[in-house]
Every structure is written in C-alpha cells, then in structure tokens.
Amino acid sequence: MKIGIIGTGNMGRILVEALIDGNAISPSSMMIINRTKSKALQLKDKYKEIRIGDSAGEIAAESDLLFICVKPFDVYSVLQEIKPHLTENQCIISITSPISTDKIEVNIPCSVVRAIPSITNRALAGVSLLTIGEMCSTIWKEKVEELFTKFSVPVHIEDKFTRVASDIVSCGPAFFSYLLEQFIQAAVKVSGMEEKMATKLATEMIIGLGELIKQGHYTLSTLTEKVCVKGGITGEGIIVLENELGDVFEHLFQATNMKFIEDLEKIEDTFSNS
C-alpha cells in the first residue's frame, strides 16, 4: 500500500515516524510533502527511502491512502487541489477535528476517515480516535483500523463526542505535562531540591503510575485509596487538591469546547463560501 502525507508539521511528522517505527509500512512506500520543504527533508534524512513530492496533486495521484495533516483552514484548498487526481478506490484520512467526514465526502470521490492522533502515538502507545465516513468502503475501514493498531489503540468515536475525546486523547498530554511541571516546580520551591532530581523523581513516578494502571493492578479510585492512608500525609495533600482544584477541569472542557465551536463556524464559512 502506498501512503501519501500532505503536511509534515508536528502531527504529520509524528504519523510518519509512528507508521514507520511501528512497522506499519516501509519508508519506500511513503511520499510526503510540506509547504516548508526543510521539514520534509528532515524526515528524508532520517528515513532515506521516503520520497518527497513536488505537489499535493502528485502525492494524491500516487497514493492509495492519503493523510491530510494541514491546518484546518487550509483543508478545503488542499481538497480542491487533489480532487482531480483522486479515484473511488482511494481513501483520505483527515486529522482535523473540526472538519467532519461528511464535509470532505461531498468534495471528493473516495473513502473518507477522520483520525485524531495523539503525541503518545510517537511511543507506539496511546489512543487514536477514528470516525469512519458514511461512504467509506468496508475494505478501507478494515485497512485503516489495522494500520492504526500498529502504533496505537484505535477507538471509534461519535461526532458529538469529538471535542471532549480529543481533549482527553490529543490535548491531554499537554494538560498533564503542564500540571506535572507545576508539581515539580512547587517541590523545588518549597524544599530546595535540585530541579533535575525533582524532575527525575516525578517522571519516574508518572511512568510507574501508568504501568500500574496498564497492568490492571489498580483502578484510579482504588489506587488513591491504597496510597491515602486515613489520617496520613497523603490525605492532607488530597484535602488541598479537593479545596483548591475546584471546577478547574470543568472550566477547561468548557473553554476548549467554546474554541471548537468558534472554529466550526469559521470552517463552515470556508466550505460554504468557496
């Protein structure tokens, strides 16, 4: 299977690396393009057999499966550029959460899937969110799921849960990295410990926590109960979290949803006015 990737920014690059390092495809089966050519050349330096295309149209013409990894407001123009080069036997995967599969389906003649990856996929781990277009063939549905299984846990998601699921899977690593950084900085400030040591302790703790959950030793709630001995030190810390966190995560989801709605309206205008 020949795979094309239009856009090798942050997520496009992660997909290239995950697909190849996860042995989903060989570098020689992939053709890429990016508006800033140096980013594509960096990937070719790493994977020598990758080919770099001269245009999005060329990528589309030579690919069985085509990933569109550009900014949301550039998707429509890319679709118009590649449309003449597409056939019903191909499949397009868009990684843009505000653009539904039906919006893409009315503009092109082939199968369509929306996939929302996560930076965790670079470690061949974590979830990728899939929404299969109504016109997508059964063959492509199976092929896409098999492909994503090589570097993630693919989960099918309904449109109405796209935003919150994306917040958890795709934005979540940034949110919790920020919290962990604040956790580390507070430890350094209060205790005087070297930041390097605090960072090592905190990162190893979070890796161990992930393994405990992954291996099924504890659920989140039972883990808290096991560590939080009644009247102990951990309990005092939990009281602070309960008092000070408040509705912070509800506010977070509300803010991201408002931005999502704003983007949806702008993209609607892009597709309807073009």
pLDDT for the residue 126: 96
**CB of 32 closer than 8 Å to CB of 40:** yes
At 54-102, the pLDDT tens digits run: 999 999 999 999 999 999 999 999 999 999 999 999 999 999 999 999 9
pLDDT for the residue 143: 97
pLDDT for the residue 229: 77
User: Which distant-in-sequence residues (6+ apart) come within 8 Å of 44 by Cβ?
Assistant: 32, 50, 52
Q: Cα-flanking dihedrals φ and ψ of residue 52, to 5°?
A: -110, 125
Count Cβ atoms below 10 Å from residue 159 Cβ, excluding itself.
11
pLDDT for the residue 274: 55
**CB of 20 closer than 8 Å to CB of 27:** yes
**CB of 134 closer than 8 Å to CB of 26:** no
Ranges in the chain, pLDDT < 70? 273-274
pLDDT for the residue 273: 65
Instruction: Please identify which residue in the block is written with the tokens 């350094």.
Output: 188
Spell out the domains of the chain, with CATH numbers in brackets.
3-157 (3.40.50.720), 174-252 (1.10.3730)
Beta bridge partners of residue 98, listed in sequence order:
none
